Amino acid sequence: MLEVAGLQAHYGPSQALFDISLQVGAGQVVTLLGRNGMGKTTTISAIMGIVKPSAGSIRLEGQELAGMPSHRIANLGLGLVPEGRQIFPNLTARENLVATASNHLDQPDPWTEERVYALFPELAERTSSMGNLLSGGEQQMLAIGRALMTNPRLLILDEATEGLAPLVRAKIWQALAQIRDTGLSILVVDKNLHDLMRLADRHVVIQRGETVWQGTSAELEADVVARERFLGL
Ligand SMILES: Nc1ncnc2c1ncn2[C@@H]1O[C@H](COP(=O)(O)OP(=O)(O)OP(=O)(O)O)[C@@H](O)[C@H]1O
């Protein structure tokens, strides 16, 4: 479904990505792991076309995305839940959900407000609350719901549970498991590896802008050296 190979990216003269390769198969949950500042957000930004890749390829079901403007990439089926949630503060929860809703790919059984509220019953209680008045957890649920309402083929989450209480975090993981069960592919950046071990099929570890390890949850569990060396865990 998504194949990234030899991806490089720069911020002005400074190179942030040197050689990123990763694959997300249809219906798979894949994590992107690495210590702070190693290039996880930049990798996601390059996939989404927010940062222009300077080399390498990013293919979605065979179609090259590198060099495309980000709105076209989004229309081809990549749904982003950005770091920091980026909820529209002056729109209500409901308006946030519908503002960017679409079904460009004519997906059967598309996501609707009702389906999002069934996934996150907390949001159903808050439909007329302004975005900036929602709690961190509600904002995160809304950011996920908003991305789902674009009916993507691949959902990408950057630090989806950052700053959330354990109980709220558990709700988010539970929802992601439900989303995975609908067959949607998911690429997720998060620091809570323990929670992700159960949810994810594969893990990709990056260090200083390079992919340095890839494998399954069982392989990562068994590879104490890689965990210590690349993740400090
Ligand atoms: N807008 C920017 N301009 C210049 N350099 C940047 C910019 N954003 C990130 N960088 C640099 O690129 C490198 C990778 O950063 P990135 O944010 O992708 O890492 P990360 O793995 O997502 O880290 P974190 O977990 O802290 O978010 C770092 O050296 C960072 O300083």
User: Which of 20, 22, 33, 38 to mutate to test ligand 1, by most ligand atoms within 8 A of the CB atom?
Assistant: 38
pLDDT band at 209 (very low <50, low <70, confident <90, very high): very high
User: Which of 18, 40, 42, 43 to mutate to test ligand 1, by most ligand atoms within 8 A of the CB atom?
Assistant: 42
Q: Which residues line ligand 1 at a C-beta cut-off of 6 Å?
A: 11, 14, 16, 34, 36-42
Burial of residue 130 (CB within 10 Å: 0-12, 13-18, 19+) is middle
CA-wise closest residue to 59 among 148, 45, 216, 68? 68
CA of 58 to the centre of ligand 1 (A): 20
pLDDT band at 232 (very low <50, low <70, confident <90, very high): confident
pLDDT band at 59 (very low <50, low <70, confident <90, very high): very high
Mean pLDDT within 52-57: 97
Q: List, in order, residues 6 or more apart from 157 with CB less than 8 Å away.
A: 81, 144, 176, 186, 187, 188, 189, 190
Mean pLDDT within 201-207: 96
Structure tokens, 171: 């709700």
What percent of the chain shows pLDDT beyond 90? 85
Q: Which helix (H) or strand (E) holds 15?
A: strand 14-24
Contact 144, 138 (CB under 8 A): no
Domains plus CATH for the chain?
A: 2-231 (3.40.50.300)
Q: State the closest ligand 1 atom to the C-alpha of 43, by its place in the atom list counted from 1.
A: 18
How much is the ipTM here?
0.94
pLDDT band at 151 (very low <50, low <70, confident <90, very high): very high
pLDDT at 194 over 90: no
- Per-residue model confidence (pLDDT) at position 45: 97
pLDDT band at 104 (very low <50, low <70, confident <90, very high): confident
- Per-residue model confidence (pLDDT) at position 231: 87
Contact 65, 53 (CB under 8 A): no
Give the residue whose CA is nearest to atom 8 of ligand 1. 42
Structure tokens, 33: 């792991």
User: Which of 33, 41, 80, 192 to mutate to test ligand 1, by most ligand atoms within 8 A of the CB atom?
Assistant: 41
CA of 50 to the centre of ligand 1 (A): 13
- Poorest-confidence range of 49-53, 97-101, 124-128? 97-101
Mean pLDDT within 79-106: 92
Higher pLDDT, 233 or 107: 107
Q: Which helix (H) or strand (E) holds 55?
A: strand 53-60
Other CB atoms within a 10 A radius of the CB of residue 223 amount to 16
